[in-house]
Amino acid sequence: MLYGDGVTQFYPTTALDIVAHEIGHAYCQGVRLMRSPNPSQNILSQTYESLALNEGLSDIWASCVENWTSQYKDHWKIGEDVMKNGFSCLRSLSNPTTQGYRTGYTTEGNYPNTYNIFPWYYGTSLSTFSHVNSTVLSHWFYLLSNGGSSTNGKGDSYTVWGIGMENAAAIVWYTELNYFTAYSQYSDAYDYTIQAATDLSNGNSNSIRVMQVKNAWYAVGIGSQPTQMTLTGPWLLCSSGGQYTVNNPVSGTLTWHKSSNIDWVSGSNPATFRANGFSNSSGWIQAYYDGIPGPKIDVWVGTFNGTVVTGTAAVCPSSIYTYTAQVPGGHSSSYSYSWTYPSNWLYPYKYQNTIRLQTPASPNYGTVRVAITNACGTSSYSGITVYPSYNCGRYFTIYPNPASTDITVTLNENKEININDSSIVDLTTAQSITEDLSVFKVRIYNNMGILVSTFTRSGKNFKIPLINMRDGTYIIELMNGENIYREQFIVKHN
């Protein structure tokens, strides 16, 4: 066997995976000697696609040998140890479209991960066709081994549960040894690997091996999506327990795996689990068939301890801020929230897991906290520390706020407006005001962005009536023909 010195693109091409790749070709040629009766030609040798499968097999064996030999190497890359041209590898089994070196290309990747979809090579160069289009098979092997969820080049969404490299390699070797011929195409590889997985599952065509072989082929654009096995059950798991069911199960021995904060109680399918003494944290439950991982469900176990509250920490006087409890898994109508906040703050609005608060004229240090009650119990309080900001300049102030009958607007010269809420109406850029602005068009919007009142006012201090305005949060807008300025205020009748 002769190996090159790499010339200008590579170091000497004697890396472990490259050597294993070439020996993989020798195995492919030697398979005909292992069969009885012997075929008349070497397998995977007579057509464009058969040669692409041949190259893909060699990359698969290179990956397996490197994985078996050294845990420190990236066994999903081929030739990564010989590159000196700035590229990460020759080809990638895990990310063929974004990693690898293809002659004539100045960017990484450019190998297909989906059958007959660009960058699939459609030309007549036998060497280019076999090496470029080999990655559909090698990527199929990566997904069969590792699993994954994404969208392929056809736009089809897929999910594969990895069966592990050893199980995947056994299926590939069995196929190479018993089924591939000199003329095999990708469509044949689909059929042959399914048959090999069936043989290795004692003739069980509904085994988890067979399902994942089909799922992996669908992920690379070959075959139809098989009926999916799913795991369903409650997302919130308490000490009282919950029931979990595998839907569309495969044939085989079912065993359950789970995180340490969950106990199995009873049953097989469905099975009952419950939270144990290590609860109040995230967890998971997963179904295995014949020792191979299947569908998995993430759960929350117990109460929501340590909930994060997001919102503004540095606050300004007489301003309105929104704070949100980041509930694991999102808000549910069955949850309730107990908020605490500084005693002189006002509470104008609360919805689901958010609260809107107004600061006083002179805010001090304090905390905005929340405790959440779910079916498992009530969490401890957690929250965010709030404190006075040093950047609270405004173009105008409003008094009183909240108000019931009218508000007084006072202009602050030579200040920059600080807009706290731009969600109601689109805002133009606020600018510093240095000139004497005396005439304004005043508009008032409700919290849906609907215009409810329009006035014209002049001077630096004027009143706005709040006639027939319901309780709620509003935006007042001042326009002088050049700039627009906004602030929030609250209408609250006794």
How much is the pLDDT for 72?
Answer: 86
Q: What is the mean pLDDT of the chain?
A: 89
| Kind and range of the H or E run holding 382 | strand 382-388
Residues whose CB is less than 8 angstroms from the CB of residue 173 and which lie 6 or more positions away in sequence, other chains included: none
Domains of the chain: 16-219 (1.10.390.10), 230-301 (2.60.40), 309-369 (no CATH), 396-491 (2.60.40)
DSSP string, 392-450: ---SEEEESSSBSSEEEEEE-TT-----S--SSS--PPP----S---EEEEEEEETTS-
In this predicted structure, what is the pLDDT of residue 155?
97
Q: Write out pLDDT tens, residues 257-298.
A: 999 999 999 999 999 999 998 888 999 999 999 999 999 999
The pLDDT value given to residue 483: 63
Residue 37: the pLDDT is 57
CA distance 165 to 160: 14
Residues of the chain above pLDDT 90, percent: 67
Dihedrals phi, psi of 299, to nearest 5 degrees: -135, 165
In which residue ranges of the chain is pLDDT below 70?
A: 35-40, 348, 393-394, 413-437, 481-484
Distance between CA 61 and CA 23 in Å, rounded?
A: 9
Q: What is the pLDDT of residue 278?
A: 83
Residue 373 to residue 379: CA distance in whole angstroms? 6
